[in-house]
Amino acid sequence: MLKNLKNFVTDSMAIDMGTANTIIAVKGRGVVLDEPSLVAVNEMTDEIVAYGREAADMSGREGRDLTVVAPLIGGVVGDFERTKRMLSHFVKTAKTGGKNVALQAVMSIVSDVTHVEQRALTNAADDAGIGKIFLMEEGLAAAFGAGVLPSDKRAAAVVDIGAATTNIAFVAKGSIIFSTSDRHGSNAINESLATHLRRHRGIQVGEETTELLKTKFASAYLPDDISKTVEVRGRDVQTRSPAAVEITSGEVYPIVEGIVRRIAERIKDSLTELRPEVAADIYDRGVILTGGGALLDGIDKYLRSYINLPVTIADEPRYATVNGLVKMFEDHELLDRVSLSELRVLQNAEPHFEV
C-alpha cells in the first residue's frame, strides 16, 4: 500500500471544517487555506456566487437577492448541498496544481456526530474529488496538534472552544479516554452581546460589530478600569434609523463572564468523571485550550481560578486541530488506528457533479 502510494504524486490534506472557519493544511506545505465557512447565495437562481472570505465581505450588507449563509451552523452538516459545494471549492483552492494529483484527506468530526452526518461528510469528500478519506475525532486531533504525543501514557485534557461547540477530551496513549461536547461555543458571546444591546440599549447591531466588541474590547476578567468606553453603531430599535451608543467595559464584562462561566462549569463537571489515575495526571498537567475561543482575553486566567488547575493555551490555538490532523500522515499505522471505522468513501453513492 505504502509502496504504491509513493509512485504517484499524492496530496495529503488535513481538513478542519468548522462552523466558523475551514482550515486546510497539506503535508509538507503547512496551512494553505484559512477561510470563513460561508457561501453567498443568489436567492433568485439558488446559485452560489462567492465562498469564504469573499462571501464574508458581503455579509450583513447583502443586496436584495443575495444572502450569506453558514451551511454548517450547529457544527454538523446542516445544509448538505451547500456544504458539499463549499468543501469542493476549498479543496480545489488548496490543492497542489496538476490534474493527476491523487488526493487523500483526513478530516475531523465532533465526537457526538451521528452516522447520517458521518456519511454526509464522506459523501461530500467524495464529491470534492478526494480519493480516500479518513475521519478522526476532533478531540484527538486537537490534542496531537497541541503537542500531546500519541505515545504518551499519561493523560492530557484538551478543551477546544470553537464558534458553535466546546469539545472536552481526555486523551492517553493516542486514544480518547472520555470526551464530551456542548453545542455552545464562543459565538454564544456574540449572541449575548447582541441581545443585551437590543434589549437594554435599544440598538440592533450586526455580527461584525459584536465580533469586534468581543475580540478587541471584551475580556474574561474584571477590567481594572470599568469605565472604559467604546462606541457601537447599528440601528435604533424604535426609530429604525442609524444610531450609536457608548458601552463600558463594566457593562460588557458580566455578559462575557456568563458564557465563560458556562464553559468553565462544563469543564469542572467533566473533571468529576475521571478515574483516579487519570485525575492524578490531570492534576499535574492541567488543561490545554485550543480553538479560536481560546483567544478571548484572559480566558486562561479565568478558567485557572475556576477549576483550580493549570490552564495553558496551545501555540496557534486556531490551528491545533488541523496541525494534529496533518501529523497523521507521518505515521500511517497511527492513522489507521485512530481513524473511525466505515471510512471508505462510498464510491458512486451519489451522482458526481462538477464544481
Ligand X SMILES: Nc1ncnc2c1ncn2[C@@H]1O[C@H](COP(=O)(O)OP(=O)(O)OP(=O)(O)O)[C@@H](O)[C@H]1O
Task: Single out the residue of 321, 300, 296 nearest to residue 310, CA to CA.
Answer: 300
CA atoms of 127 and 282, how far apart (whole Å): 42
Nearer to ligand X, 177 or 213 (CB): 213
Out of 75, 139, 145, 286, point to the residue binding ligand X (CB under 6 A). Answer: 75
302 part of the interface to ligand X, by CB under 6 A: no
Instruction: Tell me which residues in 266-285 interact with ligand X (CB under 6 A).
Output: none
Nearer to ligand X, 71 or 291 (CB): 291
Task: Single out the residue of 143, 167, 158 nearest to residue 19, CA to CA.
Answer: 167
Out of 71, 145, 292, 324, point to the residue binding ligand X (CB under 6 A). Answer: 292
Nearer to ligand X, 243 or 296 (CB): 296
Out of 11, 12, 17, 18, point to the residue binding Mg ion (CB under 5 A). Answer: 18
- DSSP H or E stretch at residue 279: helix 276-285
> Least distance in Å: CB of 58 to Mg ion?
23
- DSSP H or E stretch at residue 187: helix 187-201
CA atoms of 216 and 187, how far apart (whole Å): 15
Task: Single out the residue of 272, 257, 267, 261 nearest to residue 310, CA to CA.
Answer: 267
CA distances to 108, 178, 262, 281, 351 from 287, rounded to whole Å, are: 21, 14, 16, 10, 45
CA atoms of 309 and 125, how far apart (whole Å): 40
Out of 145, 162, 185, 317, point to the residue binding Mg ion (CB under 5 A). Answer: 162
Nearer to ligand X, 64 or 216 (CB): 216
- Each residue 108-147 as x (binds ligand X by CB under 6 A) or -, in order, gives ----------------------------------------
213 part of the interface to ligand X, by CB under 6 A: no
Q: Are 167 and 113 in contact (CB under 8 A)?
A: no
36 part of the interface to Mg ion, by CB under 5 A: no
Instruction: Tell me which residues in 225-244 interact with ligand X (CB under 6 A).
Output: none
52 part of the interface to ligand X, by CB under 6 A: no
Out of 52, 162, 174, 234, point to the residue binding ligand X (CB under 6 A). Answer: 162
> Least distance in Å: CB of 60 to ligand X?
15
* Angle in degrees, CA 64, 212, 227, rounded to 5: 130
The rounded Cα 293 to chain-centroid distance in angstroms is 9
Nearer to ligand X, 278 or 299 (CB): 299
Out of 42, 67, 204, 215, point to the residue binding ligand X (CB under 6 A). Answer: 215
20 part of the interface to ligand X, by CB under 6 A: yes
CA atoms of 80 and 328, how far apart (whole Å): 27
Determine the angle formed by the axes of helices 80-94 and 115-127, rounding to 10 degrees. Answer: 40
Three-class SS of residue 6?
A: helix
Three-class SS of residue 326?
A: helix
CA atoms of 111 and 176, how far apart (whole Å): 10
Taking contact as CB under 6 A, which single stretch among the options 124-132, 144-152, 250-258, 287-295 is the one that binds ligand X? Answer: 287-295
The option from ligand X, Mg ion, none interacting with 145 (CB < 5 to 8 A, set by class) reads none
Nearer to ligand X, 34 or 236 (CB): 34
Applying CB under 6 A, the residues found at the interface with ligand X are 18-21, 75, 162-165, 185-187, 211, 214-215, 291-293, 295-296, 318
Applying CB under 5 A, the residues found at the interface with Mg ion are 18, 162
